[in-house]
Structure 1
Amino acid sequence: MGFEELISELHKQSEAEGKKIISAAEKGAEKIQEQSREKTEESLRAAKKEAAAYVKQESSERITSARLSAKKLVDEARDEAVEASLRQVWQKFRSDSLGKGTYGDLLNRLIKEGMRELGSTDATVYVRDEDRSLASGFRLGKLPAEYSGGAIIESSNGKIRVNKTLEETFAQKKGALRKQIYDKLFRGEKMKGKKAKSAKGYGGYAGKLRSLLTFKPLVYGYSNARVRAMRTSLFSRRQAEDLLRMNTNAAVAEYLSSRTGYREDFANMPMKITDEERVELAVSRNFSRTAQKLLQITPEQSRNTLFAFLGRYDIHNLKTILLAKKLGKSKEETSHLFVPAGNLGLPELQGMLNAKSSDELYEAVRASGFGSEFLSSASIRHLPRAQIKAVLQNPDSDLARLEILISALDSYYYEAASSSVQPGERDAAIIMNLLRSETDAKNAITAMRLKRAGADRKTIMASMVDGGNFTKIQLEKMAGSKSLEELVPLASSFFISETGKAEFAAAEQKYKSDGKLSHFEVVFEISLARRSLRTLRRSMMSIGAIVGFLFLKEEEMNNIRKIVRGKALGLPNERIAEMLVLVG
């Protein structure tokens, strides 16, 4: 075989061997790929399983964490209520003990008990300077300034002291009192049997401490603790901004129904309604549920006060019917705007909405408990029945007459709410100031709206609501101003803080730019919301905290409604944001 032939044969053998190697390599590669695929799929299944387990664990941990956080909030609120109650008991005990008719006997009893414990009458008695005449016959010294009353008895050699001050007397029973207060506020247990027996032998002032557990402010411990815990569920600024950033009302509805306390309010919705109407109806249901919860936890003696405040939603619902007629809204559109949190239930409101004539609407209003009281009240008596019916029949015919009727509704509410607040009620002044502020805001906005519509002084004054901080002279000046531009500086006196004044000035500039009164309405609403928040924070053991929370919850409802209405109208987020009332 020649050299060329040998090379040719080697080439052939190499090619055949190469093909075998390549074929084997390809088969090996396929096998490796198959094994790799199987391993990948197995790894993927394991990863998914691990991820599912992680998610489940993470979810469980988050739920547990949320429950612990919620429990911590409730426990802290309860502790705060108990400590506040103890402070109230102490203040009352001290003031009652120092009363002119009883303190002398109490002081002498404390001194005698101290002598008995000391085992000697040869002692120095330390009392307040003003009590020296009550402790005559003893060797006296000056009681240290940190004590508010009672006495300290010291042995003649100065080695033994018996503390019989009011502070020490109270401190000795503080632990037992704390438990009794907790049981009374949160377990509903009566102070009798073993508890009453344990206080036996404590002396006359022990009975006084025991009786103080029925002291009026303590009754609010549970309700105030619940309200402060409920406050944590109010929408935060971040949540409102999240809603605002959502592109559609469907997304808003999905968020509210799946990730917030509004979930159950989306159940059993009517079939053919828009996403905007779904949200409107859900927030209305939620607010009504909250109002009922507040009524349940409010102490019986203050329930009428809260019920009077809930009358604002009866007013809202009647205004909704009137304005819906004015704007030509359908019954379906209007019914989603109702807030049935007051005296008027949904069946009564639907009956008014379905009325076919002014006579029928008038009778539907009069037949309700709220309507009969309103139509016989002083706030409406000056309006002829024919005029009321004319407005009910055609609200669009005369803006001034409609405003006068709405003003009468507002007057009725503010009068009822104001008269329900007892003068001796704790925080009565704070609540009344909140009501007066709301009245002032209502009057300022009404005057602006009527002035821009060209109403005269007499018409504007007829639409003003009594009971605010604005004097009659101030209201007369606003009503008699020649233009809205002249009225605005007069209305600005409502704002006291520098923040409020700056916001009002900014609203004035925006109004000059686009002519929209809503800029003024928003700054008044923001100021009222801040005052409601202050009422909630400052009020301890009173109806004030409950009323303050109610107003803040109302603003949450209003903010959500503004967002979905703005999106339905295609307004830019910046414009909707300007209308929101975000505080706290």
Structure 2
Amino acid sequence: MDYGYVNARIKGMKSHLLDARDLDDLTNKPDLDALIGALETTAYREELQKAGIEYCGIARIEVALRRDLIRTLRKVLNLFRGEREDIYIRLLLNRWDVQNIKTILRGKKIYAPPDEVIDCLLPAGELDEAALIELLQQPDVRAIIDLLATWRIEYARPLTRHLQEFLEMRDLAVLEFALDRFYYENALSVLGKNGDYDEQIVREMITTEIDVANIRTALRIIRDMTHMEDAEKYLIAGGRDLSIEQLTSLVSSGSIEEAIRQIRGTPYEFLAQVPAECIAAEKISVIERELERFLIEKGCGNFLKDPLSIAIPVAFIWAKQNEVTNIRIIARSIIGDVPETELRKALTYV
């Protein structure tokens, strides 16, 4: 793999990312027109102009951001096409397949209009936009799973195994967790335990994601007072720093406050800095935001690792995703008239 060439291209793409000063400038915009005007001086200009033909306001921004992110991630993947390391990039991008299938299933369960659901999808993985649209056109959850099976899409396997349980419980979390477990277990089986430096970089991110997913699950189990025998089946083995035994102990603690206390001494002890009133009120969304910030910072931290390795593309994927998220937050905050100080707290600077 010629990382000298590939990472030079990636670094060229990185040079177009917005820095902290650029983001702060966007937070000062008084309305969406001013925000769009500022974004048209950035790498988002082309997609904003295309989107402007059909959309206006927040929809124009959302569509442009979505299309730009898809195009950028595809560009990264194309740099690896035909190379052995292609599998590592695909593993990271396939996270969006899982998220897209979840989004389609949720939309179908609540009878959401397909046009609304499609705007929430990001065809950056194996399932392209045409495939996602066809899935959206299916009449119900079973038909979606059947179509995935007909296409021999690997995610049909866990969904099919748990379909009857879903039909009996009518709880979409059954299918969503089955997807998550399958994705992470498959990723770990591909990566192995004693791979080369590139494998170690990707494995570290995947296993950290497992930790974060497990912490989220444990906190929700505590909040919802799920029975312990049911709780353990929703935890995923293979996390980087937290074993199943540790996670079971968190769930058994009985309160979110005690669970966070038990996390001290691990890389996740920063959760103790979450305001006490949020923890007491069991505001899991606040805790989840800090976990997501941790993941983003860890992903982008790969820019500081070996410049002739997969670390640079991995870091760029996380940085680009974070930038799009930040711009979305800014746009929605302008609509909601969120105070600038609060808006900046919601952003993740890397």
TM-score class normalised by the smaller sequence: 0.7 to 0.9
Matched with 1:412 is 182
Distance in 2 (CA, whole Å) between partners of 1:351 and 1:569 is 34
Once the 2 structures are TM-superposed, how far is the Cα of residue 388 of structure 1 from its aligned partner?
4.1
Structure 2 match to 1:484 = 256
Residue 164 of structure 2 is matched in structure 1 by 386
CA contact (8 A) 2:278 2:286 kept: yes
Aligned AA (2:156): L
Q: Cα distance, 1:390 vs. partner?
A: 6.2
Structure 1 residues 508, 446: closer, same or farther in 2, change over 3 A?
farther
Cα RMSD of the aligned pairs, angstroms, is: 2.7
Deviations 1:437-466 (A, max 9, x none): 111111111221232123222333222222
In the alignment, structure 1 residue 367 sits paired with structure 2 residue 139: no
CA contact (8 A) 1:266 1:282 kept: yes
Task: From the superposition, tell whether residues 336 and 510 of structure 1 become closer, same or farther in structure 2 (CA, over 3 Å).
Answer: farther
Matches within 5 A, 1:570-581: 570-581=337-348
Which residue of structure 2 lines up, in the alignment, with residue 561 of structure 1?
Answer: 328
Once the two structures are superposed, residues 537-567 of structure 1 have per-residue CA deviations (whole angstroms, 9 ceiling, x without a partner) of 2033222321221122111122222233344
Corresponding residue number in structure 2 for 1:285: 67
Give the structure, 1 or 2, with the largest relative contact order (CA under 8 Å, sep 6 or more).
2
1:439 paired with 2:210, answer yes
- 1:216-295 map, 5 Å: 219-256=2-39, 258-269=40-51, 273=55, 275-295=57-77
The residue identity in structure 2 corresponding to 1:280 is: E
Q: Distance in 1 between matches of 2:251 and 2:7?
A: 41
Give per-residue Cα distances to partners, 1:49-82, cap 9 Å, x unaligned. xxxxxxxxxxxxxxxxxxxxxxxxxxxxxxxxxx
Unaligned 5+ segments in structure 2 are none
Deviations 1:460-500 (A, max 9, x none): 3222222212111111112222122222223455426xxxx
* Structure-2 change in CA distance of 1:473 and 1:345 (3 Å): same
Paired residue type of 1:544: A
User: Do the aligned residues in 1 keep the contact of 2:145 with 2:156 (CA within 8 Å)?
Assistant: no
SS of alignment partner, residue 202 of structure 2: helix
Task: Quote how far apart the aligned CAs of 1:236 are.
Answer: 1.2
Cα separation, partners in 2 of 1:569 and 1:319, compared to 1, 3 Å:
farther
Aligned counterparts of 2:49 and 2:330: Cα–Cα separation in 1: 21
Aligned to 1:534: 301
2:274 matched to which residue of 1?
Answer: 507
In the superposition, the TM-score normalised over structure 1's length comes to 0.55
In 2, Cα distance between equivalents of 1:346 and 1:452: 37
1:489/1:513 CA distance change after superposition, 3 Å? closer
Q: CA deviation at 1:526?
A: 1.9
Give the one of 245, 257, 266 matched to 1:473.
Answer: 245
| 3-state SS of paired residue (2:218) | helix
Contact preservation (8 Å) 1:277, 1:336: no
Summarize the Cα distance change of 1:481–1:515 in structure 2 as closer, same or farther, 3 Å threshold.
Answer: closer
Inter-partner Cα distance in structure 1 for 2:333 and 2:226? 30
Larger Rg: 1
Report the residue type matching 1:485 in the other structure: E
CA contact (8 A) 2:223 2:282 kept: no
Matched, 1:319 2:102: yes
Opposite residue 150 of structure 2, the aligned amino acid is A
For the structure 1 residues 276 and 489, does the alpha-carbon distance in structure 2 shift closer, same or farther, using more than 3 Å as the test? farther
Structure 1 gap segments, 5+ residues each: 1-215, 392-396
- Alignment correspondent of 2:115: 332
Distance 2:62 2:118 in 1: 10
SS at match of 1:301: coil
Equivalent position of 2:93 in the other structure: 310
- Bigger shift: 287-296 or 480-489? 480-489
Partner Cα separation in structure 2 for residue 346 and residue 566 of structure 1: 29
SS at match of 1:241: helix
Identity %: 27
Residues in 2 aligned to 1:363 and 1:552: alpha-carbon distance in whole angstroms = 36
Given that residues 451 and 483 in structure 1 are in contact (C-alpha distance below 8 angstroms), is that contact kept between their aligned partners in structure 2?
Answer: yes
Tell me the TM-score normalised to structure 2 length. Answer: 0.88
Paired with 1:461 and 1:576, the residues of 2 have a C-alpha distance of 37
Aligned counterpart, 2:79: 297
Partner deviation per Cα, 1:335-376 (whole Å, 9 max, x = no partner): 11211111111111112223222332222333345xx31222
- Once the two structures are superposed, residues 90-132 of structure 1 have per-residue CA deviations (whole angstroms, 9 ceiling, x without a partner) of xxxxxxxxxxxxxxxxxxxxxxxxxxxxxxxxxxxxxxxxxxx
Listed one character per residue, the Cα deviations across residues 484-526 of structure 1 (whole Å, up to 9, x for unaligned) are 2222223455426xxxx4x523324251476532221222122
Alignment of 1:6-45 (within 5 A): none
CA–CA distance in 1 between the matches of 2:334 and 2:230? 36
What secondary structure sits across from 1:343 in the alignment? Answer: coil
More divergent stretch after superposition (487-496 vs 453-462): 487-496
Q: Deviations over 1:408-430 (max 9, x none)?
A: 22222223333343644324323
Distance change >3 Å, CA 269–CA 546, structure 1 → 2:
same
TM-aligned CA deviation for residue 331 of structure 1:
2.5
Call closer, same or farther: CA 1:390–1:318 in 2, change over 3 Å.
Answer: farther
Residue 571 of structure 1, CA deviation: 3.9
Structure 2 SS opposite 1:495: coil
> After superposition, what is the alpha-carbon deviation per residue over 1:376-402, rounded to whole angstroms, capped at 9, x for unaligned?
2xx557x443234568xxxxx53xxx3
> Deviation at 1:259?
0.8
For the residue of structure 2 that corresponds to 1:488, the secondary structure is helix
Given the superposition, is the C-alpha separation of residues 262 and 309 from structure 1 closer, same or farther in structure 2, using an over 3 Å criterion?
Answer: same
- Once the two structures are TM-superposed, the CA of residue 311 in structure 1 deviates from its matched residue by 0.4
State the number of aligned residues.
Answer: 347
